[in-house]
């Protein structure tokens, strides 16, 4: 009961802030809603018994990536809002319809696969409490090569970002 209440509250906040992110007129407001959204998603992870992922979510997403967005918004000081003058060519409505169709499809697949009789799923239960050590163990043994590749990816991205942000391009 308490679990269901917590889930629905978190889900409502996550979706609500998600919608606010894409509807806010002001980009800075949009970014603030994004941060709030990420914090609630982190809470959802913690609620699911994944504390390490929750902290990574806050440190990397809320504390790192979104600050980067905020910086760029401050640097590209917008004299005219990019969406002030709309041209008729934008296919916003079509996009909305297509997206909703895809959503219906995804939900239908999930429902068909798992709610159909005989496929009763166990209630979501968290992993054993000390899964931080487990994650670390997996990361540095079975997934060592992907881990090194990820570090390489970050290095390349860093060099790329520095080159792109240089004054004379």
CA angle 78, 83, 88 (to 5 degrees): 150
Decide: 7 and 27 in contact? Cβ < 8 Å.
no
DSSP 123: P
Residues of this chain, 23-82, that bind other proteins according to CB under 8 A: 26-32, 34-35, 37-39, 41-42, 44-45, 48-53, 55-76, 78-79, 81-82
115 interacts with other proteins by CB under 8 A: yes
How long is the chain? 169
The yes or no reply on residue 83 touching other proteins (CB under 8 A) is yes
**Smallest separation, CB 117 to other proteins (Å):** 14
Cβ proximity to other proteins, 118 vs 162, nearer residue: 162
Distance from C-alpha of 98 to C-alpha of 143, rounded to nearest angstrom: 37
Binding to other proteins in span 125-154, by CB under 8 A: 125-127, 129-132, 134-135, 138-139, 143, 146, 150, 153-154
């Amino acid at each position: 009961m308490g679990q269901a209440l917590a889930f629905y509250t978190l889900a409502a906040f996550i979706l609500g802030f998600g919608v606010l992110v894409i509807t806010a007129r002001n980009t800075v407001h949009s970014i603030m809603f994004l941060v709030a959204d990420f914090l609630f998603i982190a809470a959802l992870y913690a609620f699911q018994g994944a504390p390490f992922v929750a902290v990574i979510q806050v440190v990397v997403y809320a504390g790192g990536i979104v600050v980067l967005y905020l910086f760029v918004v401050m640097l590209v000081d917008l004299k005219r809002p990019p969406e002030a003058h709309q041209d008729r060519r934008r296919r916003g409505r079509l996009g909305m319809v297509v997206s909703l169709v895809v959503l219906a499809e995804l939900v239908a697949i999930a429902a068909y696969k798992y709610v159909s009789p005989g496929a009763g799923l166990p209630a979501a239960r968290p992993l054993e409490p000390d899964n931080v050590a487990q994650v670390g163990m997996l990361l540095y043994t079975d997934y060592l090569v992907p881990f090194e590749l990820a570090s390489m990816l970050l290095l390349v991205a860093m060099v790329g970002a520095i080159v792109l942000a240089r004054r004379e391009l």
